[in-house]
């Protein structure tokens, strides 16, 4: 009996194989922005993913937001309904089954998107502490994103502020910029419950749409990625306290695919014990301002030929993606 259960400590992960680059954001010695830039450049070109450690965002701040999202999910349905994501906007509550990343399989997860720190985006009235905790975390993640952009500018040898200027309206509202803090809760899997059949998924395979994503996940596991050049799904694993960064599609277009947009998904854990527990994560999706034109010719390397492809704005590119994900349901 015991043999039929897969033990967590026996599972091979990218963390257990030391296959994910780890980037230390603590300042020591050489100029921080240069070192981080070089390490990010290597990580984005070779793997599309890295762990950021010593990033200065206390674990308590992240846990506080997870706890507050649990409180939201305990609210009466009529209060939750008032905060549902509506047609044409990105902020608000998305209940299980509303998103379909692969176009067909519904996601078994609760999500709450925040694109601006105001009453409309955050259920402040229902949960004043949630508003406070989200505001603190958003401020930290935004600052961290801006630092990462500066490091990327140095590594790519492009004009200072190239990225920072194009992301100047992060968290000023989805009408200006689609950057989003997304709280996520994947409920425990109860076998035999309708909708949790074979083929069910916590989050279907996709690449993130924007510039890059910062992801804080708990220790429950389930996140899998396809590393560049491979179709094999590999478990990421858990590095305590680390924040994961993965490249998005816009960054990949911008860099003429030199930086990878990493396919990823969240599966239902194989281990019986773990699947009966819920999983929390928080993603901060970093996007350029909606009006920015994303041209692969902006960052041409020496001697590289110009692309003749049609140039779209960040807004046009993301709308196309949203239509694929939410289908006719909410977009």
Ligand X SMILES: O=C(O)CCC(=O)C(=O)O
DSSP state of 74: H
Q: Of 23, 43, 94, 184, which lies in the binding site for ligand X, with binding defined by CB under 6 A?
A: 184
What is the closest distance, in whole angstroms, from the C-beta atom of residue 241 to ligand X in the complex? Answer: 16
Identify whether the C-beta of residue 238 lies closer than 8 Å to the C-beta of residue 15. yes
Q: Which of residues 204-243 bind ligand X (CB under 6 A)?
A: 208, 215, 217, 223
Pick from ligand X, Fe ion, none: which does 280 bind, CB < 5 to 8 A by kind?
Answer: none
Indicate the residue among 145 and 281 with the shorter CB distance to ligand X: 281
Identify whether the C-beta of residue 166 lies closer than 8 Å to the C-beta of residue 265. no
Indicate the residue among 65 and 184 with the shorter CB distance to ligand X: 184
Indicate the residue among 166 and 206 with the shorter CB distance to Fe ion: 206
Indicate the residue among 80 and 213 with the shorter CB distance to Fe ion: 213
Pick from ligand X, Fe ion, none: which does 266 bind, CB < 5 to 8 A by kind?
Answer: ligand X
What is the closest distance, in whole angstroms, from the C-beta atom of residue 4 to Fe ion in the complex? Answer: 32
Any contact of residue 283 with ligand X (CB under 6 A)? yes
CA dist 37 and 22 (Å) reads: 13
Quick one: 168 exposed, middle or buried, by C-beta within 10 A (0-12, 13-18, 19+)? middle
Tally of CB atoms within 10 A around 20: 22
Q: Of 208, 220, 224, 249, which lies in the binding site for Fe ion, with binding defined by CB under 5 A?
A: 208
54: alpha, beta or left, given left = phi > 0 and alpha = psi -120 to 50? Answer: left
Alpha helices in the chain, H assignment, sequence order: 32-46, 59-74, 77-82, 128-156, 162-166, 249-254, 272-275, 314-330
What is the closest distance, in whole angstroms, from the C-beta atom of residue 239 to Fe ion in the complex? Answer: 18
Identify whether the C-beta of residue 235 lies closer than 8 Å to the C-beta of residue 9. no
Any contact of residue 108 with ligand X (CB under 6 A)? no
Indicate the residue among 214 and 299 with the shorter CB distance to ligand X: 214
Rule CB under 6 A: which residues touch ligand X?
182, 184, 203, 208, 215, 217, 223, 264, 266, 281, 283
Rule CB under 5 A: which residues touch Fe ion?
208
């Amino acid at each position: 009996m015991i043999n039929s259960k897969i033990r967590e400590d026996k599972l091979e992960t990218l963390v257990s194989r030391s296959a994910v680059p780890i980037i230390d954001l603590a300042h020591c010695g050489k100029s921080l922005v240069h070192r981080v830039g070089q390490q990010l450049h290597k990580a984005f070109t070779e793997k599309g993913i890295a762990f950021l450690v010593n990033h200065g965002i206390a674990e308590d701040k992240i846990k506080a937001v997870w706890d507050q999202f649990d409180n939201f999910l305990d609210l009466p349905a009529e209060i939750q309904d008032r905060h549902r994501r509506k047609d044409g906007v990105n902020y608000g509550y998305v209940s299980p089954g509303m998103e379909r990343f692969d176009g067909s399989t519904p996601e078994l997860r609760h999500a709450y998107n925040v694109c601006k720190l105001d009453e409309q985006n955050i259920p402040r009235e229902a949960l004043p502490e949630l508003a406070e905790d989200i505001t603190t975390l958003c401020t930290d993640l935004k600052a961290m994103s801006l630092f990462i952009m500066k490091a990327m500018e140095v590594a790519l040898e492009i004009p200072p502020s190239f990225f920072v200027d194009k992301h100047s309206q992060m968290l000023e509202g989805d009408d200006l910029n689609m950057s989003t803090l997304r709280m996520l809760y994947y409920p425990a899997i109860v076998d035999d419950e309708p909708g949790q059949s074979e083929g069910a998924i916590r989050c279907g395979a996709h690449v993130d749409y924007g510039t890059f994503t910062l992801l804080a996940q708990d220790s429950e596991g389930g996140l899998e990625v396809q590393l560049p050049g491979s179709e094999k799904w590999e478990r990421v694993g858990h590095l305590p306290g680390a924040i994961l960064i993965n490249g998005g599609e816009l960054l990949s277009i911008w860099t003429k695919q030199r930086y990878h947009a990493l396919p990823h998904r969240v599966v239902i854990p194989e281990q019986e014990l773990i699947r009966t527990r819920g999983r929390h994560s928080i993603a901060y999706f970093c996007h350029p301002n909606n009006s920015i034109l994303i041209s692969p010719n902006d960052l041409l390397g020496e001697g590289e030929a110009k692309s003749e492809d049609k140039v779209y704005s960040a807004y046009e590119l993301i709308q196309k993606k949203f239509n694929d994900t939410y289908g006719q349901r909410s977009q």
